[in-house]
Amino acid sequence: MLDLDFAFFKLNNTEKRGLFYRKYILNRLAPVFFLPRVEKLIQLNDLNFTGCQISMPLGSGNLSLIEPEKQQNMFKRSAEIARDYQLPSLAVDRRLKKQLLDLAIDFPLVFGDNFIKALAAAIITRIISRREIKRLIMVGELEHYSEFISGISPCGVPLSIQTMYPAQYEVMTYRLLYEKGYAVSTSMLNPHSWEAGDLVFVFDPQQESLAVAFPEVCCIRLTNNVCGLAPELESKLIQNGMDSSLHNLAPIMETCMRGEAGILSSGGEQIRKNEANGSEGNIFLTLQQIGDELGLWDLFLDKAI
């Protein structure tokens, strides 16, 4: 049995077409003919990480035509493959997050959210050490937003959450401001208010063009389709025949870094008990530290800055 650091699950980027792939036929035949299988090994030699790609030969739309119970049974095969390699979790293409979470898979799935937050925190730390930043601006959704803001608060820079729906963050920002003393606010998304000295992070894929439209502002995209953040590392994925966009890179990196951190062993034991600070929302701080130890952020930060 190979000693692997991660397993990565993906679907086809394109949909299967034709009579064979209609709903009625797929529901009958997919659990037999389209089960997940190990397609290739993935070598990330510079970081000494080795994994495998688990593929299901269907597109996301094809999969959605299959009854949820059958989808769940099919996906269990991916979990079984990960378990066969004694892996505690499975990295998954971020674009499948909602679809797979709706299935309530009984196996830890890693979509890379904590890696993206750790990367953002590392970028903030590096940029603030080099230039004066007047304000941090976050555009888009993040899991465990409150913990993320608390984790980066030591940088001492005021933070603004800008969104099309600011009311949904009012309670959170009120507590952070008045109970914890963090300089945080929420407002309607308004790129025309951005100024030199602002550091903007765009997490919302619908607002990706903002980084291009406002070149005078330091604007960093961390959305699913972004690439070019770490050219050397991304080239390794390309050499392995994979799309190098963040929707693939983030879950792979997070899974490997969780292994390095010992957050979960193959038996489910948390090894570095104090690293995750007792909360899933603070795991990104552990990953930020692991990235420092591995020298991983150097592959990202020079390009980002």
Q: What is the DSSP annotation of 254-281?
A: HHHHHHHHTSS-TTS--SSTTTTTTSGG
Compare 208 and 229 and report the one with higher pLDDT. Answer: 229
List Cα–Cα distances, 189 to 24, 120, 126, 163, 195, in angstroms: 44, 19, 26, 5, 14
pLDDT beyond 90 at 262: no
* pLDDT per position as a tens digit, 292-301: 998 899 888 7
Split at pLDDT 50, 70, 90, the class of 304 is very low
> What's the angle, vertex CA 286, arms to CA 301 and CA 295, rounded to 5?
35
pLDDT over 90 for what percent of the chain?
51
- Contact between 199 and 133 under an 8 Å Cβ cutoff? The reply is yes
Average pLDDT, the chain: 87
CB atoms closer than 10 angstroms to residue 268: 9
pLDDT beyond 90 at 214: no
- Cβ burial of 1 (10 Å; 0-12, 13-18, 19+) is exposed
Give the sheet arrangement for strand 37-44, strand by strand: 37-44, 49-59, 6-12, 90-92, 109-110
β-sheet bridge partners, residue 186: 161
Instruction: Supply the Cα-derived Rg of the chain in whole angstroms.
Output: 20
* pLDDT per position as a tens digit, 112-148: 999 999 999 999 999 998 888 999 999 988 889 999 9
Split at pLDDT 50, 70, 90, the class of 267 is very low
Q: What is the C-alpha to C-alpha distance for residues 47 and 176, in angstroms, rounded to an integer?
A: 37
pTM for this predicted structure? 0.90
- Contact between 193 and 213 under an 8 Å Cβ cutoff? The reply is no
Q: Tell me, what's the pLDDT at 205? A: 80
pLDDT beyond 80 at 279: no
Domains observed in the chain: 6-111 (no CATH), 112-305 (3.40.50)
Split at pLDDT 50, 70, 90, the class of 284 is very high
Q: Tell me, what's the pLDDT at 148? A: 94
Q: Tell me, what's the pLDDT at 271? A: 39
pLDDT beyond 80 at 280: no
At 279, give phi and psi (nearest 5°): -150, 140
What mean pLDDT do residues 237-244 have?
91
Residues 6 or more apart whose Cβ sits within 8 Å of residue 192:
none
Split at pLDDT 50, 70, 90, the class of 3 is confident
* pLDDT per position as a tens digit, 139-194: 988 889 999 999 998 888 999 999 998 999 999 999 999 988 899 999 999 998 89
Q: Tell me, what's the pLDDT at 212? A: 61
